[in-house]
Amino acid sequence: MLQSLLALPLGVAAEVLVFLLIYLVTPLNGRQAAVIVALLGLSATLIYSLIQWPGADVLAMYVAVLAVTAYLLGVVSHAREQRKADTDGKTRWFHWGPALIVIFFMLLFALDGVLVVISQQGLPEPLAERLLPRSDQQESVRSVFPGVVARDYQKKEALYNEYLQQVDRQVQRGWQVQKGWLETPLSGRSSVFQARVLERDGAPVRFAEVAGVFQRPSDSRLDQRFSMQEIEPGLYRTVIVLPEPGLWNLVLQVRRGEQLHELHASTSVADAGDPAP
């Protein structure tokens, strides 16, 4: 991501050089050369995005910045041509209207670029410590985005209906899942997590595949996937390390053949440096 954004000034410089080459060597006027440069820049951007997808936000920045650069080159060169052709010298080099438009979009692109970099890389540590709150009891606020992505079954009717059917089957099946830690989990340390799965009548659900993921709401890169082993009939256990203190979301799935039971919950992890409650 950061490399893609750093390549943007190089793209603008290349566009300016190609424009000067076309404008000075060929008989084309400034507007014609700007149109050609804009088409070349957009074509190169689309080809690059097909080879290495930079993300829709970065692609939009590329397209907008290169298009505005070509527009600016066309406006400046056309004003220069008019000035040379004007005998009374009243033609201004650069009109305030296009200048304000160009300045507005350049500031907008610069702000968008800063926000994209922050979303992927986070704020510099000194700036983050000054601007973002910290708490001894809760996880530190992070300026990086890859957070938990919202489920999209509510946006897609087919997936939403499938989800409702799964919930209905799960209720009718009546499995009982009792989950928890053997002791208070501490960040960065191995903790034992277990789940007891029972039938509606209390009989153990044996030989199931039990797996899941602990999701970090503030940073999905820290998500921890796990699978559990059956240590006795219906009792499944695993050892897992959650690297950061604070809130974690749990998605737990129990599969036996075609039967699926999914459970959603949350848990809190204590800081290893703090005394256990």
Model confidence band, residue 202 (pLDDT cutoffs 50, 70, 90): very high
Instruction: Supply 184's token pair.
Output: 């208070």
Residue found under tokens 């490399």: 3
Mean model confidence pLDDT for the chain: 80
Q: Is the pLDDT of residue 140 over 50?
A: no
Report which DSSP code applies to 141: P
The tens digit of pLDDT for each residue in 153-198 reads 455 667 778 888 888 999 999 999 999 999 999 999 999 999 999 9
Give the domain ranges of the chain: 2-127, 157-269
107 confidence band (pLDDT: 50, 70, 90): confident
Q: What is the mean pLDDT of residues 89-115?
A: 65
pLDDT for 5: 53
pTM over 0.85: no
- Rounded (5°) CA angle 148-154-158: 120
Give the model's confidence band at 221: pLDDT under 50 very low, under 70 low, under 90 confident, else very high. Answer: confident
DSSP 3-state assignment of 99? helix
Contact indicator for 241, 224 with CB cutoff of 8 Å: yes
pLDDT at 215 over 60: yes
Higher pLDDT, 81 or 275: 81
Domain 157-269: which CATH number of 3.30.750.24, 2.40.10.10, 2.60.40.1930, 3.40.605.10? 2.60.40.1930
- Which run of H or E residues covers position 259? strand 259-269
Residue 226 has pLDDT above 90, yes or no: yes
Residue range 236-246, pLDDT digits in tens: 999 999 999 99
Q: Which two tokens stand for residue 135?
A: 């708490």
In this prediction, residue 6 has a pLDDT band, given cuts at 50, 70 and 90, of low
Instruction: State residue 244's pLDDT score.
Output: 92
Beta bridge partners of 240: 191
Three state DSSP letters for 185-254? CECCCEEEEEEEEECCCCCECCCCEEEEEEECCCCHHHCEEEEEEEEECCEEEEEEECCCCEEEEEEEEE
Residue 135: CB atoms within 10 Å: 9
pLDDT at position 129, please? 67
Instruction: Please give the pLDDT value at position 162.
Output: 81
H or E element that contains 178 = strand 176-181
68: left (phi over 0), alpha (psi -120 to 50) or beta: alpha
pLDDT tens digits, one per residue of 16-54: 899 889 988 888 988 899 899 989 988 888 888 888 777
Q: Which of 154, 130, 132 is nearest to 143 (CA)?
A: 132
- Phi, psi (degrees; rounded to nearest 5) at 201: -85, 5
Q: What is the mean pLDDT of residues 192-207?
A: 96
* Helix ranges, the chain (H): 2-25, 30-51, 56-85, 96-121, 125-131, 157-173
Best-predicted range by mean pLDDT (113-117, 131-135, 150-154, 228-232): 228-232
Reference 49, options 4, 84, 86; nearest CA is: 4
Tokens of 41: 């820049």
